[in-house]
Chains A and B, each alone.
Chain A
Amino acid sequence: MVFVMLTLVFVVLRVMPGDPVSAMLGGHAPEKVIQQKKADLGLNKPIGMQYLDYMGKLAHLDLGESMIFKQKVSQPILEKLPATLELTFFGLLLSLGIGIPLGVFAARRRRSGRDYGARLYANVVYCIPVFWMGLLLQLVFGIFLGWFPIAGRTSPRVEVSAFSKTGFYIVDTLRIGNFAAFGDVMWHLVLPSVTLGIVLSGIFVRLTRANMLDVLKSDYILAARARGVPERRVVYNHGLRNALIPIVTMLGLQFALLLAGAILTESTFSWPGMGRLLLERIYLRDYPVIQGVIVVYTLFVSVISLVVDLLYAAIDPRVKY
């Protein structure tokens, strides 16, 4: 799967019409300069050779060098990755935190007012473009009320170099015990992760509701009730735990949506993560970095699907390792 995806990335970026070098140097560069640059980047070789080169380097985790700046592709990526991970982590946490309870709430009384209410919430929220949600939150809580910052990971007064080590600011600030800076970092995380969390929660409401409805119909639920097990325990320990199995198996796909949402959130909140890096380098036409970022996203998705498989096996005793 990873292999196919990586090949696909190569095909999309190399075989598609458009010549990166002339695009980068502008239309008026002399032919000789263009040829020189192509040779530097290995773009004059036959396409098969290019593919082998690309895969060979990837195997050594070598993403090449930027076409614009004197830097390895991995350098900006490693700088930005923690920001994206922090954002997606909190976004996912929030969307699960909203979506699962609301889905359970709806499923407990099918076709009741609260069921329709929760379904309406799920549909409306799913149809809100992430970036618009972000802009609205910025407008209300950032501009009108002035409660939260609307851009960046830290305030200007906070000296990032004083604590930055891993790039995960939350971890870094806690590690050196700088709670003022920690508070500032969390304060900046609020609006972006709420944006991402709310928009994605709709999907989890739907997933949870549908699976809970199925599970609550099963015989073991009725049997548990007949033994005098209290309703809360029946719904959460018997019901939700079983409903989580199909939800977990679909987590991989939801994660793809989360990453897509994160790109738009980063762009809206000037969040210095991978998504913004990708967009910046697209404007600069820095092809190796674009490719590198997409490769990292691909690996990210693959790692997640592996984690999901492990999680699945951990929850369900019927699955053998």
Chain B
Amino acid sequence: MPQLEKTILEVQDLSIAYPITIGVVRAVEGVSFTLDDGEALGLVGESGCGKSTLGLSILKLHRPPGRVTGGKILYRGTDILSMSDRALLKMRGQNISMIFQNPLTSLNPLFTVEKHFLETIHFHDASMPRERARAAVGKMLETLGIEKKRLKEYPHQLSGGMRQRIMIGLALIMNPDIIIADEPTTSLDVIVEAGFTDLLMSLRSIYKLSIILITHNLGLVAEIADRIAVMYAGRLMEVATTEEIFAHPLHPYTQGLIACVPNILVDQKELVTMPGSPPDLVDRPAGCPFAPRCPQVIPICRQKTPALIQHAPSHSAACWLYRQKEG
């Protein structure tokens, strides 16, 4: 079914590197995926595997000294990476928005809530009269379930959950198509997290959003995402629909990840963790990055890097185990 819908974002063979004094950190390597209109894609992987770098690069906002060393990011057919600065400013917030991990530090402590909103509106639509802008902000607060009087308050006067809701409001105020949420619930407590999930789901239908949800929380993606992309050491290991990933994970890394999630159905006594730790992204050896930790490793894994190959209509994996006949 997803193939029939229109592709809104397409990332092609994207690589991003941070040249630092001791070498080059290859944070994203040859990543390709697509996002369809109205779809929610989950991007999962351990901390440090390049998820945030990938997410930020979609807004061309990867932190210095990061550099795109290859690939394209097509938004409705135009390459974001070769857009002019002006076009980028317009695109950010109006076509693609982002919300971040830490709502406590993502709002400017010297600006009132209202100022954040009015500023955003002003820079996208300078001609909009102040009254209309205020009305739009008021409506947004209603949707978010925040009292109007909070507009005049500063971030330090608000609770964490409220700040996260304001962040979402800011991201949506210009009515974008895509929202990238980078670990949006990591710093919230469980109850607030549940509320956040509900809010995101309802906003998704109101605003007809496509979502890229970056997280290491498999429970959260299972709840929200239609499709899941599993990332490891800068590469995509497996991409499939949510049901497929949980029902038939192909890649040993994905299998490991799922085994690590405490399962409430199976009576699990111990928390399973994968042995070993992710590789250093500086000067990495050839071959599959997961090979050193992989329980099913075969010789070729250490020599050549497997490409992401489609194995079923909506299921791709980058693993030699399933390509032996060709390899």
- The answer on A and B forming one complex is yes
- B150: chain A residues at CB < 8 Å are none
Q: Which residue of B lies closest to A242 (CB)?
A: B110
Q: Say whether A224 faces chain B, with CB atoms less than 8 Å apart.
A: yes
Q: Once bound together, how far apart are the Cα atoms of A287 and B91, in whole Å?
A: 71
Q: Once bound together, how far apart are the Cα atoms of A247 and B94, in whole Å?
A: 35
- A226: chain B residues at CB < 8 Å are 59, 61, 92-93, 97-98, 100, 171
Q: Say whether A227 faces chain B, with CB atoms less than 8 Å apart.
A: yes
Per DSSP, are chain A's interface residues mostly helix, strand or loop, or mixed? helix
Expressed in whole angstroms, the minimum distance between the Cβ of A245 and any Cβ of chain B is: 8
- A223: chain B residues at CB < 8 Å are 98, 100, 106-107, 167, 170
Q: Which stretch in B1-9, B42-50, B117-125, B227-235 binds the other chain?
A: B117-125
Q: Once bound together, how far apart are the Cα atoms of A127 and B46, in whole Å?
A: 49
B124 touches A228 (CB 8 A): yes
Q: Once bound together, how far apart are the Cα atoms of A222 and B61, in whole Å?
A: 8
B146-185 residues at the A interface, CB under 8 angstroms = 154, 156, 167, 170-171, 174
B93 touches A315 (CB 8 A): no
* Most interface-central of B59, B110, B124 (chain A CB within 10 A): B110
- A227: chain B residues at CB < 8 Å are 92-93, 97, 119-120, 123, 170-171
Q: Once bound together, how far apart are the Cα atoms of A233 and B93, in whole Å?
A: 16
Q: Which residue of A lies closest to B55 (CB)?
A: A226
A271-321 residues at the B interface, CB under 8 angstroms = 315-318
Given the contacts A316-B110, A317-B156, A219 and B124 also touching, CB distance less than 8 Å: no
Q: Once bound together, how far apart are the Cα atoms of A318 and B106, in whole Å?
A: 16
- A27: chain B residues at CB < 8 Å are none
- B93: chain A residues at CB < 8 Å are 226-228
Given the contacts A110-B64, A317-B154, A230 and B108 also touching, CB distance less than 8 Å: no
Q: Digit string of A212-232 for contact with B (CB within 8 Å is 1, else 0)? A: 000000111011111111110
Q: What range describes how many residues of A lie at the interface?
A: 20 to 34
B interface residues, tally (CB under 8 Å): 34
Q: Once bound together, how far apart are the Cα atoms of A226 and B154, in whole Å?
A: 20
Q: Say whether B102 faces chain A, with CB atoms less than 8 Å apart.
A: yes
Q: Which residue of B lies closest to A110 (CB)?
A: B64
Q: Say whether B248 faces chain A, with CB atoms less than 8 Å apart.
A: no
Q: Say whether A14 faces chain B, with CB atoms less than 8 Å apart.
A: no
Q: Say whether A241 faces chain B, with CB atoms less than 8 Å apart.
A: yes
Task: Give the B-binding residues of A (Cβ under 8 A).
Answer: 110, 218-220, 222-231, 233, 238, 241-242, 315-318
Closest A-B pairs by Cβ, 4 of them: A228-B93, A228-B92, A219-B105, A227-B93
Task: Give the A-binding residues of B (Cβ under 8 A).
Answer: 56, 59, 61, 63-64, 85, 89-94, 97-98, 100-102, 105-111, 119-120, 123-124, 154, 156, 167, 170-171, 174
Beyond A219-B106, A222-B56, A228-B92, 16 extra complex contacts between A and B, CB < 8 Å: A219-B101, A223-B106, A223-B170, A225-B61, A226-B59, A226-B98, A227-B97, A227-B170, A228-B90, A228-B120, A228-B124, A229-B89, A242-B108, A315-B110, A317-B110, A317-B156
A selection of 8 A-B contacts at a CB cut-off of 8 Å is A110-B64, A218-B105, A219-B101, A219-B105, A226-B59, A228-B123, A238-B111, A316-B109
